[in-house]
Chain A
């Protein structure tokens, strides 16, 4: 099956610093990647949709200047949380889809971000 890998699995950073999370499709080309955020005991909320070679499309209420998304290749998308604050602590999950989003998306294992 299709494999999506996130790195790191968990990260602790100091308030005010930036942290980058990688999402890789290991055995297929992902034209579209999606980034979700999940707070404890809550559901997944879509943050943004990323198409390879294009600017990401952010959901309402998500700050594009704070959550920088880059999808420069068909196998890699990155999410950078800039000037992180404790309220940004969350579980960040990506999914990847081939076929321009008209095929099933496969999820990564998630990245636990803790900002101290």
Chain B
């Protein structure tokens, strides 16, 4: 079936750097995308979402970019902090309900002090 994938499984950055996590999706019907942060032993924590009628959305220290032409999604974290260390997942809805999600493989972000 169609799936969401990630280019980089791990990312190590220094505290204060900007981080960019990438995600490729294959389902052209997807119209809702979300980035989640997951810490060890916990459920996914919502970071930011974007709908297909937008190509950029900003939150606090985070920005999501959506390129529907190449089916690519990215999460930018500004001034990365040690507390940002976690696994980050992109997810897409396949054009179905906003809650029925297909998750990417995940990127492990490690922030070094």
* A joins B in a complex: yes
Q: A46: which B residues are within 8 A, CB to CB?
A: 100-102
Chain A interface, DSSP helix/strand/loop, else mixed: strand
Chain B interface, DSSP helix/strand/loop, else mixed: loop
Given contacts A106-B46, A109-B42, contact A43 B105 (CB under 8 A): yes
Q: In the complex the two chains form, is B43's CB within 8 Å of A109's CB?
A: yes
Nearest Cβ in chain A — how far from B35, in angstroms? 13
Q: In the complex the two chains form, is B98's CB within 8 Å of A104's CB?
A: yes
**Chain B interface size, under 10 / 10 to 19 / 20 to 34 / 35 or more:** 20 to 34
Q: Which of A42, A102, A104, A110 contacts B43 (CB 8 A)?
A: A110
Q: In the complex the two chains form, is B98's CB within 8 Å of A107's CB?
A: no
Complex interface residues of chain B between 86 and 113 (CB less than 8 A to chain A): 89, 91, 96-106
- Give the total of A residues in contact with B, Cβ under 8 Å: 28
Over the window 53-79 of chain A, the binary record of Cβ atoms lying under 8 Å from chain B Cβ atoms (1 yes, 0 no) is 000000010000000000000000000
Q: In the complex the two chains form, is A105's CB within 8 Å of B98's CB?
A: yes
Which residues of chain B have a CB within 8 Å of any CB of chain A? 1, 34, 36, 41-46, 49, 89, 91, 96-106
A/B pair count, beta carbons within 8 Å: 66
Enumerate 19 A-B pairs (CB-CB under 8 Å) in ascending A order: A34-B101, A42-B105, A43-B104, A44-B91, A44-B101, A46-B100, A49-B99, A49-B100, A91-B41, A96-B99, A101-B98, A101-B99, A104-B49, A105-B98, A105-B101, A106-B46, A107-B36, A108-B43, A110-B42
Q: How far is the CA of A65 from the CA of B42 in the complex (A)?
A: 27
Q: How far is the CA of A68 from the CA of B19 in the complex (A)?
A: 41
